[in-house]
Amino acid sequence: MRGVVFDGTQPQVVDDLEIRDPGPGEVLVAVAAAGLCHSDLSVIDGTIPFPVPVVLGHEGAGVVEAVGAGVGHVAPGDHVSLSTLANCGACADCDRGRPTMCRKAIGRPGRPFSRGGEPLFQFASNSAFAERTIVKAVQAVKIPSDLPLTSAALIGCGVLTGVGAVLNRAKVDRGDTVVVIGTGGIGLNVIQGARIAGASAIVAVDSNPVKEAVARQFGATDFLTSAQGVREILPTGADQVFECVGHVGLIRQAIELLDRHGQAILLGMPAATAEASFVPAGMFLDKSILGCRYGSSRPQHDIALYAELYRQGRLLLDELVTETYPIEDFAKAADDAHHGRVARGVLTF
């Protein structure tokens, strides 16, 4: 079968992948579409260290082909959106409704794929850049069959992370003022999450002026090409500032833009050894810096919720898909994503 493999030097599209049968508590999914996220590019450029060879991809949707023993919530033929969260469901964090903190879901890549007899790692417990993948049952979330799979693919990472950061982690309230630094796939979902939450002002900041139209489409009330102008719109600062780029200088800016009792939420992924600095004295006015993993999501609950909001016309998904590419055009899709030409490119099989 076809898939995208990174060998530590370069990614390549191959057609000789093999995958084992699903075991107990596992689901085999025929992937129909997969979004290309910057996290995939970060594995390639080394920003995210990951063992190789690895089958890339982590934002996908498809149709269940087979299930292992003990799986009852999905069946062959069901449409599913895939999460990356292979949480155990039994630890203290899972029991408290914090599956993103499950220690068994972090840093334990499996190897369900093989190529020429050599096992390959699975990226983010998902590897959606393959015609078929195996996930834990908890990662396969049933969705309505009338939801386009090219759009449903984006729920499993970009939407869960961006909208979830707003609703679950920051808990943006009606009337809050919000600044979103970076309007890529994650930033656009932060913007629409803030709109859904009822924010009174949503200021989008991106150095690329071409992105203004789509930022406003998703809910931005203002658009700036530099954070320097935020204080002209919000003189006392913002209640919530989301950094969606992963640049240490922008992290400092996010903190400096906070109003009293404000929160800076860090979503961008800097290099593993990067360090950020800020002036501590400004934090004593009850300000907070919040890390956020995967939108602090509960995928089985949240994906179903977002699918329903999409059907109601409140959550934009189709509009996130800038372009679709056959899997063979992975190199073009990666180049477009790297240069910011697309909000989200989607690979199809």
Question: Which tens digits make up the pLDDT trace of 48-91?
Answer: 889 999 999 999 999 999 999 999 999 999 999 999 999 999 99
Confidence of residue 271 (pLDDT cuts 50, 70, 90): confident
Instruction: Give the residue with greater pLDDT, 107 vs 283.
Output: 283
> What average pLDDT does the segment 200-214 reach?
96
- Average pLDDT value for the chain: 96
**Does the structure show a pLDDT above 80 at 107?**
no
Res. 38 pLDDT band, cuts 50 70 90: confident
- Kindly state the average pLDDT of the residues 178-182: 98
Question: Tell me, what's the pLDDT at 109?
Answer: 87
**Mean pLDDT to the nearest integer, 306-313:** 96
Q: Write the CB contacts of 211 (distance below 8 Å, at least 6 apart in sequence).
A: 183, 204, 223, 340
Task: Work out the pLDDT band at 338, boundaries 50, 70, 90.
Answer: confident
pLDDT score recorded for residue 251 = 97
| Arithmetic mean of pLDDT, 96-125 | 92
Q: What is the pLDDT of residue 339?
A: 85
Beta bridge partners of 61: 33, 81
| Terminal-to-terminal C-alpha distance of the chain | 10
Question: What confidence category does residue 36 fall into, taking pLDDT thresholds of 50, 70 and 90?
Answer: very high
Distance of alpha carbon 220 from alpha carbon 263, whole angstroms:
19
Say what the pTM is: 0.94
Q: Return the sign of the alpha-carbon dihedral for residues 142, 148, 154, 159.
A: negative
Query: What tokens does 17 get?
Result: 């992948």
**Closest by Cα among 253, 303, 306 to 279:** 253
Does the pLDDT at position 108 exceed 80? no
Q: How far is CA 236 from CA 197, 220, 233, 260, 262, in A?
A: 21, 19, 9, 8, 11
Give the residue-averaged pLDDT of 183-187.
93
pLDDT of residue 164: 98
Q: Among all chains, which residue has been given the structure tokens 């679709």?
A: 324
Nearest alpha-carbon partner for 202 in 242, 236, 164, 162: 242
> Does the pLDDT at position 106 exceed 80?
no
Establish how many alpha carbons lie within 13 A of residue 151's alpha carbon, considering only the half-sphere containing its beta carbon: 16
Average the pLDDT over 236-262 and give the result.
97
Burial (Cβ within 10 Å: 0-12, 13-18, ≥19) of residue 63: middle
Q: Where are the beta strands (DSSP E) in 177-269?
A: 177-181, 201-205, 222-224, 238-243, 258-266
Encoding tokens for residue 151? 């759009």
